[in-house]
Amino acid sequence: MSGETMGQEAAAVASLGITASATGNASRAEETAGEAVAGGIAVERLAAWFGRNRILADINLNMPPRSITAIIGPSGCGKSTFIRCLNRLHELVPGARVEGRVWLNGAEIYGPRVDPVQVRRRVGMVFQKPNPFPTMSIFDNVVAGMRFGSRRLSRQETRDVVERSLRQAALWDEVKDRLRAPATSLSGGQQQRLCIARALAVEPEVLLLDEPASALDPLSTLKIEELLAQIKMSYAIVIVTHNMQQAARVSEQTAFFLNGELVEQGPTQELFTRPRDRRTEDYITGRFG
């Protein structure tokens, strides 16, 4: 057991691009970890606290690459906290704490020598309320992540990244003639797609979305759902949503959270048509929450 743990940590260190002391074990360990999670992002016995309040307990969930995982559940069930654990944002709140393991493509992101900044470069996030940087133009918002990461790109490369990201976010045609306009001049739905473009520009492996459409009108929501379907072949996508129709429409896999516990998970079709747990059935049929 302890040998395996050590090996996994070495893998974590190695695959996050940090020199490991036990590099000899890395390749074997990577195989072991690889078997366990098969890419994407996976959590094992995850628990999270705010001070003495336990928000999440004993979550085990595998979110594979090239597919969308929907997290559903009533308000306050820990959905948002859960995905904030996946990019180590939760721990930034004073008094917040995480236990358990999170594997990113086979590497432990809470390992002892892992830099949270490196993790966040590989796990992008889109928030509930559109939050473009208000002092920056549309163009500068898209490249903000690369500038913060001090990645040096030529002018042409930068322009290519902006176009590619905005196209992926289905925003290019609407803004291509005014890339220098302030980001705040866009509508709410456009701002949210700009935030998606900004997250995609740094080429993450995982994209987390925290109720990305809850503040938007139906048309903007539809656009975001369409773009998620387009880009899911390149990322592991995790979407928190209040809207069960949305979960049913976009996701391959759904997980139902209640009071900080993962009640049920499974293929979306199955979970919505033949829920195994009574509480899941009550929730999806609208009997509570």
Partner 1 sequence: MISLDRLARRRVWNTVAMAGAGLCAAVALVSLLAVLVWLGGKGIPALDLAFFTELPKPVGEPGGGMANAIAGTLIVLGIACAIAVPVGMGAGVYLAEYGRNRLGGVVRFTCDVLTGVPSIAVGIYVYILMVLTSKQFSALAGGVSLAVIMLPIVTRSTEEMLRLVPVSLREAGLALGAPHWRVVTGVVLHTARGGLITGGLVALARVAGETAPLLFTAFNNRYWSASLDQPIATLPVQIFTYAIAPFDDWHRQAWAGALVLVGMVLIISIIARLIGRQAGTGAWR
Which positions touch partner 1 (CB under 8 A)? 87, 89, 92, 94, 117-118, 120-122, 124-125, 127, 129, 131-136, 144-145, 147-150, 184, 195, 198-199, 202
Q: Is 9 helix (H, G, I), strand (E, B) or coil?
A: helix
Cβ 77 to partner 1, closest distance in Å? 21
- With contact defined as beta carbons under 8 Å apart, do 208 and 124 qualify? yes
Cβ 147 to partner 1, closest distance in Å? 7
Nearer to partner 1, 6 or 93 (CB): 93
Nearer to partner 1, 38 or 93 (CB): 93
Taking the C-alpha atoms of residue 188 and residue 284, their distance in angstroms, rounded to an integer, is 29
Q: DSSP label at 137?
A: B
Taking the C-alpha atoms of residue 138 and residue 182, their distance in angstroms, rounded to an integer, is 6
Instruction: Find how far residue 209's CA is from the centre of its chain.
Output: 6
Taking the C-alpha atoms of residue 36 and residue 126, their distance in angstroms, rounded to an integer, is 28
Cβ 58 to partner 1, closest distance in Å? 26
Nearer to partner 1, 106 or 124 (CB): 124
Nearer to partner 1, 74 or 116 (CB): 116
At CB < 8 A and 24+ separation, what contacts does 109-115 make?
A: 109/12, 109/16, 111/9, 111/12, 111/13, 111/16, 112/9, 113/13, 113/18, 113/20, 114/12, 114/13, 114/16, 114/18, 115/16, 115/18
Nearest in space to 250 (alpha carbons), one of 268, 275, 266, 270: 268
Nearer to partner 1, 90 or 223 (CB): 90
Cβ 91 to partner 1, closest distance in Å? 11
Nearer to partner 1, 92 or 233 (CB): 92
Tokens 């995905």 correspond to 83
Nearer to partner 1, 111 or 145 (CB): 145
DSSP state letters, 182-246: BGGGS-HHHHHHHHHHHHHHT--SEEEEESTTTTS-HHHHHHHHHHHHHHGGGSEEEEE-S-HHH
